[in-house]
Amino acid sequence: MRTWKAAESAEEIVKVLQDKDMKRTINLLKKNLNGGYSFLPPETEQYLKRFIVNTLGMHNISLYGGWYACIAAYLISPAYNELALLQRQKIKGKPNQTINHQIKSLVREAIIWTLKNLNVKYYEDRIALILSTKMRSKNINEENMIQIMHNLEDIKTKMDNLKNFILSNGIKLKGNYKVIEKFLSKFDNVYAKISTKYGWSIHPNILPNQRIDEIADRMMEDDEPKLE
């Protein structure tokens, strides 16, 4: 039975932010929240910003790494002590995959627990993708999977270009354009589901077809990982 409690003051958020053991985890979440595949819908992000300032009394956000760092610290605050303990168990210069997996699993639990308590919307599949707490499917061999993802990436680029063309030209979504818009939306969902299942990157700061879990593991080890 969890005895968690989310941060109830700005001081508690600052404590998480200033703990050097939390830096890698917060950086990992910041990259997701600030990317094109955030696990928070825009309305939830705005709600959390207001909540952190108005309810928790946190000001001078820029002094503590910006909005996304503060949101990340708040979301993982229920598991802060457990996460800090796990981080201290890691041995520098040695593989820590098991501990990284425990950390990411705990972070995922804490985020979902916090958001559910606030009764706000979020994308659970995107949390699972960035933290990769589930084993990726192996029922397609690697070579075929690479080809599938390359082809999907090409199609997605064309679909995004079409979507941008429709929006930039002010074409009202009615008639045939409404059908196109619905198809584009469905394709985005299919692409996200396949990427989530097989652990492929759809993060804007990571090259297509890189394993998101491998990138996340490197981020848990290095303060400033290189995204090749």
Task: Write out the chain's pLDDT in tens, 228 residues.
Answer: 568 999 999 999 999 999 988 988 898 888 888 876 788 999 999 999 999 999 999 988 988 889 999 999 999 999 999 999 988 887 776 767 788 888 888 998 999 999 999 999 998 877 876 676 444 455 666 677 667 777 777 787 787 787 777 777 766 656 666 777 777 777 777 776 776 666 555 454 444 445 555 555 555 565 444 433
Say whether 211 sits in a helix, a strand or coil.
Answer: strand
For residue 213 the two structure tokens come to 């879990």
> For the chain, what are the domain ranges?
10-131, 142-198
d(CA 142, CA 106): 29
d(CA 218, CA 85): 19
Say whether 200 sits in a helix, a strand or coil.
Answer: strand
pTM for this one? 0.64
Determine the pLDDT at residue 80: 94
For residue 152 the two structure tokens come to 């999907």
Determine the pLDDT at residue 182: 74
Determine the pLDDT at residue 134: 44
Q: At what angle do helices 212-221 and 23-33 cross, to 10 degrees?
A: 140
Nearest to 125 by CA among 181, 183, 199, 72: 199
d(CA 96, CA 92): 9
Q: How many Å is the Cα radius of gyration of the chain?
A: 19
